[in-house]
């Protein structure tokens, strides 16, 4: 599903040049659950943004579902993102003015689905996450764990093939964090590919493989680095 070849990302200002990614080569297959770890500033979020087609590399090649997309425009990346990639963030990124139902419905609006199809898919996603009883509530009326469940429902509602999770338990206590990790494990077991950035060794143990970054480079990678809990 994902392959990068000598991927580089450099941020430049008039005075400073910062190398966020330096010759990164990774392959992630369909159905994998991969955790990406490393110290702050090592390039984890930059890598996730490029994998998620939110940003492009400075140089190198990036293949997503067989397409070499390093030269894609933002419009082309956005088109490929729709329906293929779901995002889960540490801060949930729910819209306070929208209900739970409306937050989960958003990706389907961008896909142009009719009302009946949207309603069916949203209800299925909320039921899967155990949040149907909160469909008319607003984010501020929910606990952190409930908000993250809604965020996961939004990520999966369009049947995304790839879920990208950036510190998905970072704002949660350990019990709610474990709930979220178990939900991600269930999604992976049902066939969804998951790439997760985390600082937590505990969360990383849920993954089948661990990639460690340091100073923008892959320093270790392998199945033996991660163990299921």
Q: Decide if pLDDT at 108 tops 60.
A: yes
Nearest in space to 4 (alpha carbons), one of 54, 86, 78, 70 = 70
Q: Decide if pLDDT at 224 tops 60.
A: no
Buried residues in 77-116 as b, exposed as e (16+ CB within 10 A): beebbeebbbbbbbebebeeeebbbbbbbbbbeeeebeee
Q: Kindly report the three-state secondary structure assignment for every residue of the chain.
A: CEEEEEEEEEEECCCCEEEEEEEEEEEECCCCEEEEECCCCCCHHHHHHHHCCCCCCCEEEEEECCEECCCCCHHHHHHHHCCCEEEEECCCCCCCCCCHHHHHHHHHHHHCCCHHHHHHHHHHHHHHCCCHHHCCCCHHHCCHHHHHHHHHHHHHCCCCCEEEEECCCCCCCHHHHHHHHHHHHHHHHCCCEEEEECCCHHHHCCCCEEEEEECCEEEEEEHHHCCCC
Tell me the C-alpha distance between 25 and 16, whole Å. 25
Mean pLDDT of the 200-224 span: 88
Q: What pLDDT, on the 0 to 100 scale, is given for residue 225?
A: 44
Mean pLDDT of the 89-102 span: 94
Q: pLDDT tens, 135-169? A: 999 999 999 999 999 999 999 999 999 999 999 99
Nearest in space to 23 (alpha carbons), one of 61, 52, 56 = 61
Q: How confident is the model at residue 26 (pLDDT cuts 50, 70, 90)?
A: very high
Mean pLDDT of the 184-211 span: 94
Q: What is the mean pLDDT of the chain?
A: 91
Q: What pLDDT, on the 0 to 100 scale, is given for residue 228?
A: 43
Q: pLDDT tens, 72-90? A: 998 999 889 988 999 998 8
Q: What pLDDT, on the 0 to 100 scale, is given for residue 28?
A: 96
Mean pLDDT of the 95-120 span: 94
Is 203 in contact with 212 (CB distance < 8 Å)?
A: no
Tell me the C-alpha distance between 98 and 193, whole Å. 28
Q: Decide if pLDDT at 105 tops 70.
A: yes
Q: pLDDT tens, 40-76? A: 889 999 999 999 999 999 999 999 998 899 889 989 9
Q: How confident is the model at residue 223 (pLDDT cuts 50, 70, 90)?
A: low
Q: Decide if pLDDT at 226 tops 70.
A: no
Q: What pLDDT, on the 0 to 100 scale, is given for residue 222?
A: 67
Q: What is the pTM of this model?
A: 0.88
């Amino acid at each position: 599903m994902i392959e990068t070849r000598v991927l580089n990302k450099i941020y430049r200002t008039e005075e400073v040049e910062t190398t966020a990614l330096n010759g990164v080569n990774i392959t992630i297959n369909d159905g994998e659950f991969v955790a990406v770890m490393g110290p702050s500033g090592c390039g984890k979020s930059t890598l996730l943004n490029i994998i998620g087609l939110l940003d492009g590399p400075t140089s190198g090649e990036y293949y997503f579902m067989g397409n070499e997309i390093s030269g894609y425009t933002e419009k082309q990346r956005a088109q490929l993102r729709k329906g293929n990639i779901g995002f889960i963030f540490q801060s949930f990124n729910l819209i306070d003015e929208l209900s739970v139902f409306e937050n989960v419905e958003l990706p389907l609006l961008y896909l142009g689905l009719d009302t009946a199809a949207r309603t069916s898919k949203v209800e299925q996603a909320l039921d899967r996450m155990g949040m149907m009883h909160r469909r008319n509530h607003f984010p501020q009326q929910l606990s952190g764990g409930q908000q993250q469940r809604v965020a996961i429902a939004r990520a999966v509602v369009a049947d995304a093939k790839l879920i990208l999770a950036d510190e998905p338990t970072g704002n949660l206590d350990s019990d709610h964090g474990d709930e979220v990790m178990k939900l991600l494990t269930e999604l992976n077991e049902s066939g969804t590919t998951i790439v997760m950035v985390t600082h937590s060794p505990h969360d990383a143990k849920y993954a089948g493989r661990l990639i460690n970054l340091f100073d923008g480079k892959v320093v270790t990678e392998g199945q033996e680095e991660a163990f299921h809990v």
